[in-house]
Amino acid sequence: MSLNSTQIEDAFTTTDEDIRMLLSNILNLNLENDSNQMVIISTINKLLSTSRNRLQGLDFLNLIINNCSSRVISENAFTWISHCLVKYSGDNLKEIKLVTIGKIVENVYNEQEFTKRFISDYISKVLENCLSAHINSHESEAALETLSICMKHYGSWFSTHKTKIESYLLTFLENSSEKLVEKAAAAFHYLQQIGGAGVDGINHKTNFSTNFQKLCATVQKLFDKFLENQTEIEHSDRSNQEGFEFIDLPHYSQKMLHITARRIRNCLKFIMTMLLKSFPVAKEIIPIHLLDIINRGTAIHQCLSMGNEKSLEDFQFSLLLNKIQVQLLQLLRIFIVWGQANLLPFSFIISKIQIDCLNKSQNCQCFKTDCLFQEVVYKVLGCWLRISKNAVHAHFQTQLVTCILKDITPVTNSVTLSHFREIVSARLPFVSSEIFMTKEVVQEPETIFDDQVLGELNNQTECRSKETNEEEAVDIESTVDTNQDETNALEESNIMPEALLAEKIYYSYRCSSN
């Protein structure tokens, strides 16, 4: 049974910490009663009208807005937006105000009357607040989130502001905050959807492919600087391709290596986000451009475990390179899951990247202190074996088996137990456990993939299957796309024995190392 109006008002003003901790649940449960919902909204509006209680009112509003009825939000939306944009602009509550605006838009963007007035009276002010200077990272996060929401739902309005928004978002390629880079990458992805889609979504397709290619070219140019003192084995000349530019200030010279590595990793994050997030039309890219980046970045290694005396700069370069390479392998894994069987024509280079990384991780002591690199390699290999149905290029099959056998070879030659009975009793549970574990992995193949990756790809596939003809042929030289049937096949098909073996290798290796 719901509370009465007096009890609800008391809940807002209580000083009992136990009740305040549960206040969100208390309020949301009482929203189901129409009369109580009106009492809650009325109380929040009173709090918003006074400077002393405005922050508290915004906090309460953010707790309940997602559970309010569309009718109530529509009736109060412009009162709340006015509090956030027009009134009391100097009260240092910019972060929570931007968050509130984003939630309002997300809940009632499909209401025609709201959309008409919001676009005519408020959206330009929202954009101004999102792109203006922010006093801390929390404000920046809120601004990027709200900007993404508005571009997603009102893309046509933003077409005249595209250049300004793009310039703002690209500044985050310099940022050291992973959260900010992630949100900027999402906003950059939605930026490709603004303006009219054109016939068959041609404008959106062009936006996506052009900026995806520019990100790839930017990474190549950054590698030119990052690897300028290294002897490269794998390097395709892409110097004629247009990329994004950076301004290098004089005081950067002492830490240019670190800054360049950060730029590379942030560009890779933008690329990963563009692959993972849904898009209203087919995403068209040239696969070899992305594979060239991964191949080039993973081919370099500067050993710290042997040879001449190393400098501090050598250690810095090697450690930064390792972080980049791990991210490149994670990108390859996402690319394989996204592209699926469409990537079979590129079996040679994909297999080569994985085998080269396996050989490197086994032959150098640099990778023995931290097994993350090797773990990621085997996860990529597991994805490729499964999706390609064992299509490791014939040239590398012997090397792959050799690498696997090397990793699963026991560290010690023998183990001696004192009693035969102990051997039998210890062995039987182990064998049954192995059988059970193998069966469990086969039945639940999603253990190979991160939940976030599969969730994003499933959402992307569901969106695309509604917008595109599933029978349309796709030219792999110019586009890589995946449909719902391919994703279902990915989730339902059995894991190949080699993939099971590859998934286990890292854990066997880690246990023996410990």
> Using one digit for the tens of pLDDT, what is the confidence trace for 366-410?
777 778 888 899 999 989 988 887 767 777 888 888 888 887 777
Contact in structure between 197 and 203 (CB atoms under 8 Å): yes
| Per-residue confidence (pLDDT) for residue 469, from 0 to 100 | 40
Burial bucket for residue 142 (CB in 10 Å: 0-12, 13-18, 19+): buried
Q: Which helix (H) or strand (E) holds 330?
A: helix 312-339
Nearest CA to 179 out of 283, 273, 65 is that of: 273
117-131, 211-225, 480-494, range with the lowest pLDDT? 480-494
Residues of 60-75 as b/e, b for ≥16 C-beta within 10 angstroms?
Answer: bbebbbeebeeebbbe
Tell whether the torsion through CA atoms of 378, 384, 390 and 394 is positive or negative.
Answer: negative
Count CB neighbours of 34 within 10 A.
11
Percent of the chain with pLDDT over 70: 73
| Per-residue confidence (pLDDT) for residue 297, from 0 to 100 | 94
| Highest mean pLDDT out of 6-10, 213-217, 242-246, 340-344 | 213-217
Model confidence at 115: pLDDT above 80: yes
Kindly state the DSSP code that residue 252 receives in the 8-state scheme.
G
199 vs 444, more confident: 199
36 inside domain: no
Average pLDDT, the chain: 78
21 inside domain: no
What domain count does the chain have?
A: 1
243 inside domain: no
Model confidence at 498: pLDDT above 50: no
| Per-residue confidence (pLDDT) for residue 436, from 0 to 100 | 36
What domain range includes position 495?
Answer: 285-412+419-514
311 inside domain: yes
Contact in structure between 329 and 257 (CB atoms under 8 Å): no
237 inside domain: no
Count CB neighbours of 297 within 10 A.
24
Model confidence at 266: pLDDT above 90: yes
Model confidence at 299: pLDDT above 60: yes
229-238, 286-295, 332-341, range with the lowest pLDDT? 229-238
179 inside domain: no
Q: Predicted confidence band at 477 (pLDDT cuts at 50, 70, 90)? A: very low
5 inside domain: no
82 inside domain: no
Model confidence at 447: pLDDT above 60: no
Model confidence at 478: pLDDT above 50: no
When pLDDT is averaged across residues 225-244 and rounded to a whole number, the result is: 78
Q: Predicted confidence band at 508 (pLDDT cuts at 50, 70, 90)? A: very low
For 3, 6, 21, 29, 191, the CA distances from 17, given in Å and listed in that order, are 19, 19, 6, 19, 44
